[in-house]
C-alpha cells in the first residue's frame, strides 16, 4: 500500500508540474500534429472569421481562468476523475481512449466529436469531460468541451464553472463566441456551456446556419472539440449534432443500455450519414481485471 500511495503522490506532483508549465511546448508527447490554424493564430486571422455575422475582434479574446488549479479541482465534480486523479486506473482508461481516437484519426480530420448515447445516464457528459481533460494533457492540443445538451445541461456544473452564457446565447445571436468560451486552469482546455436554455427550441437552433458556422469556427480554433449531446433516443438533436460534427462516439453503459435501443440508434445515425467513430463502454465491471498491471504501472512516478 505504501508503494501505491507514494506512486499516486508522485503522479499528482507530476500533474501539478505539468499544469504549472501550461503553454510550454510539449514536443515528443503529442500523438499527432495539430492543424496549423489551431495554434498561434493572429488576431487578423480570427477577425476574418465571422460567427453568425458577429465579428471577432481582439476585444473579444477569451479571458483567462478566474481561479487557479487547486480551486478548480475543489469546485469540479468528483466524477471528473482525470482532474482529481483519484483513480489512476480510470485515468489510464481515458488516456487509452484518447490514444485509440488519435490512432483512428491519424490526419486529425475528425476534430469535432459528438459524444452521444441512446438514453440518459449512460455517461456522455462524464466521458466528454474526462476525455477533454486527458486530451488537454497533450500540450500542443487545444481542446474544447462543448455542452450541446440544451435539455439537460450538466457539463459546466461538472467542471465547476459558469452555466451562462453559453452556446444558446451564441446561436440566438446574443453573444460572441469568445464571450462564452470559459478558460480553465489548464491553458489548452476551454469550455462552452449550454447557456440559457429557457424558452429555446434546441432543434431549431441546431439546424440553423449559425450553428453550422459556429461549429466550423470551432473546428478551426481547436485541435479537438468534444460535444456533449442529448440522448439520441429521446430527441433528434444528436443526429443534427452528429451531422455538424466530424464524428460521433457512442457511449454504452454496460448492464444498463438496452441492446435494441442501441441498435436502433446506431441504425438511425448510420442512415443520417453520420460518421460513427466507435463506441465507448462505461460502467464495465470487469474492466479492472485487465488493467491491474497498468494501474500499478500508471501509479509509478515518471522517470
Q: In Å, what is the CA distance from 213 to each residue of 17, 53, 54, 250? A: 37, 9, 11, 24
Cell 453503459 locates to 253
Beta-bridge partner residues of 224 = 143
Contact 185, 67 (CB under 8 A): yes
Contact 175, 165 (CB under 8 A): yes
Confirm or reject binding of residue 161 to other proteins (CB under 8 A): no
In the complex with other proteins, the residue whose CB is nearer, 63 or 86, is 86
Comparing CA positions, the residue from 202, 205, 225 lying closest to residue 215 is 225
In the complex with other proteins, the residue whose CB is nearer, 183 or 284, is 284
Confirm or reject binding of residue 123 to other proteins (CB under 8 A): yes
Contact 202, 151 (CB under 8 A): yes
3-state secondary structure of 110: coil
Which region, left, alpha or beta, applies to residue 138 given φ > 0 means left and ψ of -120 to 50 means alpha? beta
In the complex with other proteins, the residue whose CB is nearer, 36 or 271, is 271
Number of residues that bind other proteins (CB under 8 A): 44
Confirm or reject binding of residue 271 to other proteins (CB under 8 A): no
Confirm or reject binding of residue 96 to other proteins (CB under 8 A): yes
What are the cell numbers at 118?
441512446
**Per-residue x/- track, 243-262, other proteins (CB under 8 A):** ------xx-x-xxxxxxx-x
Ranges within 54-93 binding other proteins (CB under 8 A): 77-79, 81, 87, 89-90, 93
**Per-residue x/- track, 127-156, other proteins (CB under 8 A):** x-----------------------------
Alpha-carbon distance of 27 to 140, in angstroms, equals 8
Ranges within 280-299 binding other proteins (CB under 8 A): 280-288, 291
**Per-residue x/- track, 185-214, other proteins (CB under 8 A):** ------------------------------
In the complex with other proteins, the residue whose CB is nearer, 173 or 278, is 278
Alpha-carbon distance of 250 to 254, in angstroms, equals 12
Contact positions toward other proteins, by CB under 8 A?
Answer: 77-79, 81, 87, 89-90, 93-94, 96-97, 100-101, 104, 123, 126-127, 249-250, 252, 254-260, 262-263, 266, 276-288, 291
Amino acid at each position: 500500500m505504501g508503494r501505491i500511495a507514494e506512486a499516486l503522490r508522485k503522479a499528482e506532483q507530476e500533474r501539478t508540474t505539468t499544469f504549472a508549465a501550461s503553454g510550454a511546448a510539449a514536443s515528443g508527447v503529442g500523438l499527432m500534429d495539430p492543424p496549423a490554424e489551431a495554434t498561434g493564430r493572429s488576431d487578423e486571422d480570427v477577425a476574418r472569421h465571422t460567427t453568425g455575422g458577429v465579428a471577432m475582434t481582439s476585444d473579444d479574446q477569451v479571458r483567462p481562468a478566474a481561479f487557479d488549479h487547486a480551486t478548480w479541482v475543489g469546485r469540479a465534480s468528483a466524477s471528473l476523475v482525470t482532474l482529481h486523479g483519484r483513480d489512476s486506473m480510470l485515468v489510464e482508461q481515458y488516456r487509452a481512449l484518447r490514444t485509440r481516437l488519435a490512432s483512428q484519426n491519424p490526419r486529425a480530420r475528425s476534430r469535432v466529436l459528438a459524444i452521444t448515447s441512446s438514453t440518459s445516464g449512460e455517461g456522455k457528459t462524464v466521458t466528454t469531460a474526462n476525455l477533454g481533460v486527458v486530451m488537454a494533457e497533450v500540450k500542443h492540443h487545444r481542446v474544447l468541451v462543448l455542452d450541446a445538451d440544451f435539455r439537460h445541461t450538466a457539463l459546466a456544473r461538472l467542471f465547476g464553472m459558469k452555466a451562462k452564457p453559453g452556446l444558446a446565447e451564441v446561436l440566438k445571436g446574443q453573444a460572441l463566441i469568445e464571450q462564452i468560451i470559459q478558460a480553465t486552469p489548464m491553458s489548452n482546455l476551454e469550455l462552452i456551456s449550454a447557456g440559457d436554455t429557457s424558452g429555446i427550441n434546441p432543434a431549431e437552433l441546431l439546424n440553423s446556419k449559425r450553428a453550422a458556422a459556429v461549429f466550423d469556427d470551432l473546428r478551426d480554433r481547436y485541435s479537438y472539440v468534444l460535444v456533449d449531446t442529448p440522448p439520441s433516443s429521446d430527441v433528434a438533436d444528436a443526429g443534427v449534432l452528429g451531422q455538424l460534427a466530424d464524428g460521433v462516439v457512442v457511449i454504452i453503459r454496460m448492464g444498463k443500455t438496452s441492446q435494441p435501443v442501441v441498435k436502433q440508434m446506431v441504425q438511425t445515425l448510420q442512415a443520417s450519414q453520420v460518421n460513427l467513430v466507435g463506441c465507448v463502454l462505461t460502467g464495465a465491471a470487469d474492466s479492472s481485471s485487465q488493467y491491474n498491471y497498468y494501474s500499478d504501472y500508471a501509479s509509478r512516478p515518471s522517470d
